[in-house]
Amino acid sequence: MRRFAYCKVVLATSLVWVMLDMFILLYFSECNKCDDKKERGLPGRDVVDGLSRPRDGPGEGGKPVVIPKENQEKMKEMFKINQFNLMASEMIALNRSLPDVRLEGCKNKLYPDNLPRTSVVIVFHNEAWSTLLRTVHSVIDRSPHTLLEEIVLVDDASERDFLKRPLEQYVRKLEVPVRVVRMEQRSGLIRARLKGASISTGGCQVITFLDAHCECTTGWLEPLLARIKQDKKTVVCPIIDVISDDTFEYMAGSDMTYGGFNWKLNFRWYPVPQREMDRRKGDRTLPVRTPTMAGGLFSIDRDYFQEIGTYDAGMDIWGGENLEISFRIWQCGGTLEIVTCSHVGHVFRKATPYTFPGGTGQIINKNNRRLAEVWMDEFKNFFYIISPGVTKVDYGDISTRSALRQKLQCKPFSWYLENVYPDSQIPRHYYSLGEIRNVETNQCLDNMARKENEKVGIFNCHGMGGNQQVFSYTANKEIRTDDLCLDVSKLNGPVMMLKCHHLKGNQLWEYDPVKLTLVHVNSNQCLDKASEEDSQVPSVRDCTHSRSQQWLLRNVTLPEVF
């Protein structure tokens, strides 16, 4: 009787699971009919069941998806949910084909057989089903399974039902172990990644972080692991290719750019300098040493990640963590590289669909203040003068991070600027930083939010900092605002803002702290107030020692430079 009762229980349990699977499939197929935005982002049954898109289907080969005119309005509504073309994404197979965009020299490279294994950690919050699963499938399909320990999906308190039990059911059937870990409350990228790293299998040597809307290409993993095998203190990033947020076209990124930042501590891509090309002896298949990483995609030795202090857990949600870990790697004895033989695509969105507790600006200001206080030494003044509101933000206790810097015997930020990022927009030596005020008119030089190849302006001084009225007069005798320098190419002007070239010439200015004059050396003329013809543009004229040619430079910090 007991055996018969046990069999009935087993049979009933099996029926429950069968019914549950049928319910899930029905749920998937009906989801596209839902109006509730929380239920969007999930494709129909054809994708869920068999990945059954034909090889000439939408988006195959990384080609763009074109939405018919009759579906344009629906497409626009769906776009708002994740801030990318969800309709196009749902039309594409979860395992679509991609072009091999590697340099020819990369395709023939051989790697050791005994490369370290990696766990792949992917954090998501309310991610669309199609983009999240396309990320997972691309990792599985284009990684040697001998090198792939597991995939850890960290759910940062998603609210969408299909990212709960249905997701767990789906990944359970994949040929590589995939774990779904849940954050109890919305914690943000930084703490969610720390969670994923902490619970990932300790037996693997490397942790690889990816975003939840990526697609890995052929041969992406081996070159990353090979560099870490050579030196565990080398932190490596792939070339980040662009997946269009509009059409999902796959577009190869350039191997001729690397990561930097501006005065506001915004990450930026800049051309790889000639000195780095020379170091590699012109071989573009060799890794590029990069001053900073974009932050979303990188691999790191597990023990080294712990050794250098993982992430700053005092930072909130997202923002600034990529620069913080970049500074820390370089200043504390490591190396940061872009491995040009590794390509991973990423959907770049023009806006975020998420809200952050406390407000995006407040969170990023706090995070940036923490990294500036711990790692930037006196050069934090560039950031504070251009972003004065940051100094009013409560940035918490940084004593443990400062102690970490002491423990690791990390180098000063001046070393970083001189040895790692000599092309930085922050000059290593400067005479003044702040406003440049005309004595007669009491007006200030102002970039008027203009761009390269436009005239510099002059406007009422507002004393609010910001990037419009902050200029540095450098030891190279440039007058610069971020990466633009004041440039005069002919007598009597105009005064333009051009990319700083460090070759002096038309960008060379002599400041006389007694006469208060700024002499443009090539023309031997003085910077003067605005002309009558254009009241918002300063000029250069023959020097007359008049008050209109006198300028006060604020925040003079290093008079010994001259």
Long-range contact list for 352-356, CB < 8 A, 24+ apart? 352/83, 353/80, 353/81, 353/82, 353/83, 353/126, 354/125, 354/126, 356/188, 356/316, 356/317, 356/318
Cα–Cα distance between 210 and 21 in angstroms, integer? 30
Give the per-residue pLDDT at 503: 85
Q: Are 202 and 176 in contact (CB under 8 A)?
A: no
pLDDT at 55: 67
Q: Within its chain, how far is the Cα of 219 from the centroid? A: 23
Six token digits for residue 557: 């910090």
Are 437 and 458 contacting, i.e. CB atoms less than 8 angstroms apart?
no
Q: Distances from the Cα of 99 to the Cαs of 60, 219, 343, 344, in angstroms?
A: 9, 12, 11, 11
399-407 and 360-375 helices cross at what angle (nearest 10)? 40
Whether residue 137 contacts residue 93, with contact meaning beta carbons closer than 8 Å, is answered with no
Q: Say if residues 498 and 507 touch (Cβ distance below 8 Å).
A: yes
**Exposure of 242 by Cβ count < 10 A (0-12 exposed, 13-18 middle, 19+ buried)?**
middle
**Beta strand pairing call for 496-499 and 484-487:** antiparallel
Element (H, E) at 499: strand 496-499
| Burial bucket for residue 327 (CB in 10 Å: 0-12, 13-18, 19+) | buried
Tokens of 472: 């540095």
Enter the pTM of the model: 0.85
Cα 526–chain centre separation: 41
Q: Which two tokens stand for residue 96?
A: 């679509």
Label each residue of 307-347 as H, E or C: HCCCCCCCCCECCCHHHHHHHHHHHCCCEEEEEEEEEEEEE
Q: Which long-range contacts (CB under 8 A, 24 or more apart) does 539-543 make?
A: 539/492, 539/493, 539/494, 539/495, 540/488, 540/491, 540/492, 540/493, 540/495, 541/492, 543/517, 543/519
What is the number of residues in the chain?
Answer: 562
Cα gap 287→280, rounded to integer Å: 8
Q: What is the dihedral of CA 281, 283, 287, 290, to 10 degrees?
A: 60
CATH number of 113-347: 3.90.550.10
How far is residue 369's CA from residue 496's CA, in Å, rounded to a whole number? 32
Q: Tokens 């620069």 map to which residue?
A: 323
The reply to whether omega before 494 is within 30° of 0 (cis) is yes
SS3 call for 136: helix
**Domain 430-555: CATH class, spelled out:** mainly beta
Map tokens 């409560």 to a residue.
Answer: 394
- Residue 9, amino acid: V
Q: Where are the chain's structural domains?
A: 113-347, 430-555
Q: What integer pLDDT is reported at residue 25 of this predicted model?
A: 35
pLDDT in tens, the chain (562 residues): 433 343 333 334 343 333 334 333 333 333 333 334 434 445 443 344 436 556 689 999 999 999 999 999 999 999 999 999 999 999 999 999 999 999 999 999 999 989 999 999 999 999 999 999 999 999 999 999 999 999 999 999 999 999 999 999 999 999 999 999 999 998 888 999 999 999 887 678 999 999 999 999 999 999 999 999 999 999 999 999 999 999 999 999 999 999 999 888 999 999 999 999 999 999 999 999 999 999 889 999 999 999 999 999 899 877 889 999 999 999 999 999 999 999 999 999 887 777 666 666 788 889 999 999 999 999 998 888 888 888 888 899 999 999 999 999 999 999 999 999 998 988 888 888 889 999 999 999 998 777 778 889 888 888 766 668 889 999 999 999 888 999 998 888 789 999 998 888 999 999 999 999 999 999 999 999 987 777 788 989 999 989 999 999 987 664 444 4
Supply 192's token pair.
Answer: 């969610």
Contact status, residue 526 vs residue 542, Cβ threshold 8 Å: yes
Q: Which amino acid makes up residue 510?
A: E
H helices present in 355-398, as ranges: 360-375, 380-386
Q: Are 228 and 159 in contact (CB under 8 A)?
A: no
The CA distance from 332 to 153, in Å, is: 30
Cβ-based burial of 377 (10 A; exposed 0-12, middle 13-18, buried ≥19) = middle
